[in-house]
Amino acid sequence: MKKVLWVFFMVFITNIAHAQFGIRAGYSSANFSDTNFSPKSGFHAGVYFTAGSDLIQVEPGIQFAGKGYTGEDDNGTAIDEQLNYLDLPVLVRLSLMPILNVFAGPQASFLLSRNYQLGQVSSNSLEVISAYDLGGVVGAQLQLPAGINFQASYDIGLKSLNYFDTDVKNRVFKISLGYTLK
């Protein structure tokens, strides 16, 4: 076991020279699982650090992410729920071709703020929803010349948000444009 860990450590240290920082931002379409709400459009933006070999990379990141939903209550009154999170993904990327990779990994998310609008009534109380979320991320990335990348991903919440004592989970589709600093 010690030899395996030593080899892993040496491979990581050898490839740290290829480490890269980057920025990423894009469009998000978020909703809750198991509801009849409509997706909420939003955005996400953040930074990432990638290290590894040409075949496999590890990419931790930090980003602001808008989530939530839109819809109507039983009386037809409009609902708009804006949830703002700090997402901390740790992705593992597998290169299929020099310009294409797929990725997956865990993500921890921390609720920063909430803005609930039901008709003319609004609330920003954080007491009706869990303060954090645990989930997974899957997706694919196209690496273009000059450090530009384009990716599509899907965030799958694995922990109940206990939203107004209801078992729902975040679901977010993201399209992102990124730039890796060389």
143 contacts 99 by C-beta, under 8 angstroms: yes
What is the rounded average pLDDT of the residues 109-133? 94
Inside any domain, residue 2: no
CA atoms within 13 A on the CB side of 117: 10
Q: Tell me the C-alpha to C-alpha distance, in Å, between residue 104 and each of 7, 18, 46, 101.
A: 23, 21, 18, 10
pLDDT class of 135 with cuts at 50, 70, 90:
very high
The whole-angstrom separation of Cα 59 and Cα 46 is 13
pLDDT at 1 over 80: no
Residue 10 included in any domain: no
Q: Is 6 helix (H, G, I), strand (E, B) or coil?
A: helix
pTM (predicted TM-score):
0.87
Q: Is residue 144 assigned to a domain?
A: yes
pLDDT bucket at 74, cuts 50 / 70 / 90: confident
pLDDT attached to residue 73: 87
Q: With bands split at pLDDT 50, 70 and 90, how would you rate the model's confidence at 19?
A: confident
CATH number at residue 63: 2.40.160.20
In a domain, 79, yes or no: yes
pLDDT at residue 14 in the model: 56
Q: Which amino acid is at 147?
A: G
Residues 182, 178: Cα–Cα separation, whole Å: 13
Task: Give the residue with greater pLDDT, 3 vs 174.
Answer: 174
Q: What percent of the chain has pLDDT over 70?
A: 90
Q: What tokens does 155 get?
A: 């965030």
Residue 94: what pLDDT? 97
Would 28 be classed as within a structural domain?
Answer: yes
Task: Report, as an integer, the average pLDDT of 83-88.
Answer: 98
pLDDT for the residue numbered 168: 94
121 within domain boundaries: yes
> What's the pLDDT band for 140 if we cut at 50, 70, 90?
very high
In a domain, 86, yes or no: yes
Domain housing 61: 20-181
Q: What is the total count of domains within the chain?
A: 1
Amino acid type, 103: F
Structure tokens at 122: 């609004």
Is the pLDDT score of 116 beyond 90? Answer: yes
Termini Cα distance of the chain: 35
Q: Decide if pLDDT at 58 tops 70.
A: yes
pLDDT greater than 80 at residue 182: no
Q: Please give the pLDDT value at position 15.
A: 55
